C-alpha cells in the first residue's frame, strides 16, 4: 500500500496540545507562568516580581471581561490595543483594594498606571518570544499612552530642616525617626533600603553605608558615604536598641524591624507639625535631597552612583529644579538683562 493511501481520510495533526495535568502550550496562564519564572530566575526584587504578577492578572481579567479565550492563538494586535482602552476607560481604579473607600474606585486608571502595566507586559512577551514560546510580541506595536508631565514640588532645604526638627528626640520612637530622616537625606536612599540596614552594613569609622544588592531595587549594591553627624547619631541609636539584640538598626519600640508603612504615617504627622502643606512621603525626601544636591553644584555622575541608578538618564529625569532655583537663575541670566542693561534704573518720578 502506498504511503499516501494509508493517510487518506485521516485527521492531520498540526497543533500541539498536551492534555492531562499539563496545560496547553497556548494557554495564557501557562505562558505567563513561564515568563514569571524566567524573571524570578533573574533574581529580581519581590516588589518587581509582584508587578509582573499583577500585570499578568490584569490582562487575564481583561480577557475574561471581554469574553476572549485565554489562548495566545486567539489574540492579535487589536486585542492588545483594546486592552489599553479597557484600562483607561473600564478598569475600576483600586479594584479589590480593601483600604480604599468606594468613592475613589472610579472607572479608568491613570495613563501612568496603564503605561506601567503595558511596559511590564511588553517585557514578559519579549521573554516568551526569546524563549521561542510565541512567534510575535504584539505589545511592541502598542504605543504608550501620552501622559502629562507631572510637576514635582520638591521640599526646600528650609522645609527639610523644619521636618527633622518636628520629632521629639526625648522619646525613643521619635529619636529613631529623626535618625531615619537624617540617614535618608544624607544617603538619598529609598525608605525600604534604609529600614533594612543591619549592623554589618554600617562602618562608623569609615563613615560608610553599604546597601547590599539583595535589598536594592536595581539588584546592584552600592557604598554611600555619610556625614560625621549621621554616623554619630546612628551610633547613638545602635546603643539605644542594643537591649533588643537585633541585627537591624531601625526598630519599632517592641524590637521588630520598623516597617515602611508605619514610618509613612509618622512622617505625615511630622509634616503637619512642621506646617508643611505639600504631600510629604518618603520618596519625596529622596527626590528633594537629590535636587538640592544638584542645585548646590553636585556632579550628575556622582549623584547617579549615590542614587544607585543604572542609567544616567534615570538620574536626569529623576531630579527637578525647584521653582525658586529656576526663578533665581532666570533673574541672573534673563536675556532682558542684556537688552536693557544699565538703562534699567529706578524711576525718579512716580507715575
Q: Give the model confidence (pLDDT) of 21-73 as tens digits.
A: 445 789 999 999 999 999 999 888 788 899 999 999 999 999 999 999 999 99
Task: Answer whether residue 346 is part of any domain.
Answer: no
What is the average pLDDT across 12-22? Answer: 52
Residues 235 and 311 in one domain: yes
> Could you tell me if 168 and 302 lie in one domain?
yes
Same domain for 77 and 223, yes or no, is no
**Co-location of 167 and 137 in the same domain:** no
Do 137 and 199 fall within a single domain?
A: no
Cα 52–chain centre separation:
13
- The residue-averaged pLDDT of 175-183 equals 96
Domain assignment present for 331: no
- pLDDT of 3 over the 60 cut: no
For residue 104, what is the domain's CATH number? 1.10.150.130
Q: How far apart are CA 124 and CA 60, in angstroms?
A: 14
Q: Could you report the per-residue pLDDT of 213-261, keeping only the tens digit for each?
A: 777 777 778 888 899 999 999 999 999 999 999 999 999 999 999 999 9
Q: Can you spell out the DSSP letters for 263-322?
A: HHHHHHHHHHHTT--S---HHHHHHHHHHHHHHTT--HHHHHHHHT-SSHHHHHHH----
Domain count of the fold of the chain: 2
Q: Is residue 351 part of a domain?
A: no
Residue 217 within a domain = yes
Lowest mean pLDDT among 15-24, 54-63, 149-158, 298-307: 15-24
281 pairs with which residues across the strands? none
Task: Give the tens place of pLDDT for each residue, 317-348.
Answer: 655 665 666 667 767 776 666 776 644 555 55
Judgement on whether residues 97 and 42 belong to the same structural domain of the protein: yes
Answer whether residue 335 is part of any domain.
no
Beta-carbon contacts of 80 under 8 Å, excluding residues fewer than 6 positions away, are 138, 139, 141, 142
Rounded to an integer, the average pLDDT of 135-142 is 84
Q: Which residue's C-alpha cell is 524573571?
A: 39
- DSSP assignment, residue 112? H
The Cα 296–Cα 289 span in angstroms is 10
As a whole number, the mean pLDDT across the chain is: 83
Whole-prediction pTM: 0.62
Pair (73, 187) in one structural domain: no
In a domain, 333, yes or no: no
Listed residues 141, 175, 194: the one ending a domain: 141
Structural domain boundaries enclosing 241: 157-325
Q: Is the pLDDT of residue 351 over 50?
A: no
**190 lies in the same domain as 293:** yes
Residues whose CB falls within 8 Å of the CB of residue 242, separated by 6 or more in sequence, listed in order: none
Q: Which three cell numbers stand for residue 229?
A: 553627624
Say if residue 91 is in the same domain as residue 50.
yes
Looking at residue 19, its pLDDT comes to 46
Residue 248 resides in a domain: yes
CATH at residue 272: 1.10.443.10
Instruction: Report the range of poorest mean pLDDT among 46-55, 198-207, 308-317.
Output: 308-317
Residue 158 has pLDDT above 50, yes or no: yes
Q: Which of 72, 107, 141 is the last residue of a domain?
A: 141
Rounded CA separation 117/121 (Å): 6
- Within 10 Å of residue 162's Cβ, how many Cβ atoms? 17
Mark whether 189 and 319 lie in a shared domain.
yes
| 3-class SS letters over 183-227 | HHHHHCCCHHHHHCCEHHHEECCCCEEEECCCCCCCCCCEEEECC
Give 100-114 pLDDT, tens digit per residue: 676 656 778 888 888
The verdict on 189 and 266 lying in the same domain is: yes
Query: What local confidence, expressed as pLDDT, does residue 217 receive?
Result: 73
Amino acid at each position: 500500500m502506498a504511503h499516501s493511501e494509508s493517510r487518506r481520510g485521516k485527521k492531520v495533526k498540526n497543533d500541539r496540545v498536551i492534555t492531562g495535568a499539563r496545560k496547553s502550550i497556548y494557554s495564557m496562564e501557562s505562558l505567563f507562568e513561564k515568563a514569571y519564572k524566567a524573571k524570578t530566575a533573574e533574581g529580581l526584587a519581590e516588589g518587581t516580581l509582584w508587578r509582573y504578577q499583577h500585570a499578568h492578572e490584569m490582562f487575564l481579567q481583561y480577557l475574561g471581561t471581554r469574553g476572549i479565550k485565554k489562548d495566545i492563538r486567539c489574540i492579535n494586535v487589536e486585542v492588545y490595543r483594546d486592552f489599553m482602552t479597557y484600562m483607561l476607560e473600564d478598569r475600576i481604579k483600586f479594584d479589590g483594594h480593601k483600604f480604599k473607600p468606594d468613592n475613589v474606585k472610579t472607572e479608568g486608571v491613570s495613563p501612568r498606571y496603564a503605561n506601567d502595566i503595558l511596559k511590564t507586559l511588553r517585557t514578559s512577551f519579549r521573554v516568551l518570544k526569546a524563549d521561542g514560546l510565541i512567534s510575535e510580541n504584539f505589545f511592541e506595536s502598542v504605543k504608550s499612552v501620552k501622559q502629562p508631565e507631572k510637576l514635582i514640588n520638591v521640599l526646600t532645604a528650609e522645609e527639610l530642616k523644619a521636618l527633622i526638627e518636628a520629632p521629639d528626640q526625648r522619646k525613643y520612637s521619635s529619636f529613631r525617626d529623626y535618625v531615619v530622616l537624617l540617614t535618608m537625606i544624607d544617603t538619598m536612599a529609598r525608605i525600604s533600603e534604609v529600614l533594612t540596614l543591619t549592623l554589618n552594613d554600617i562602618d562608623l569609622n569609615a563613615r560608610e553605608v553599604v546597601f547590599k544588592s539583595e535589598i536594592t531595587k536595581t539588584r546592584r549594591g552600592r557604598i554611600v558615604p555619610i556625614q560625621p553627624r549621621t554616623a554619630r547619631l546612628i551610633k547613638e541609636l545602635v546603643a539605644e536598641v542594643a537591649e533588643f539584640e537585633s541585627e537591624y538598626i531601625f526598630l519599632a519600640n517592641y524590637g521588630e524591624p520598623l516597617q515602611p508603612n508605619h514610618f509613612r504615617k509618622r512622617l505625615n504627622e511630622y509634616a503637619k507639625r512642621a506646617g508643611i502643606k505639600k504631600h510629604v512621603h518618603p520618596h519625596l525626601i529622596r527626590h528633594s535631597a537629590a535636587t538640592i544636591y544638584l542645585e548646590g553644584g553636585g556632579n550628575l555622575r556622582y549623584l547617579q552612583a549615590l542614587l544607585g541608578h543604572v542609567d544616567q538618564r534615570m538620574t536626569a529625569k529623576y531630579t527637578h529644579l525647584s521653582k525658586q532655583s529656576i526663578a533665581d537663575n532666570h533673574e541672573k541670566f534673563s536675556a532682558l538683562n542684556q537688552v536693557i542693561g544699565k538703562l534699567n534704573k529706578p524711576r525718579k518720578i512716580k507715575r
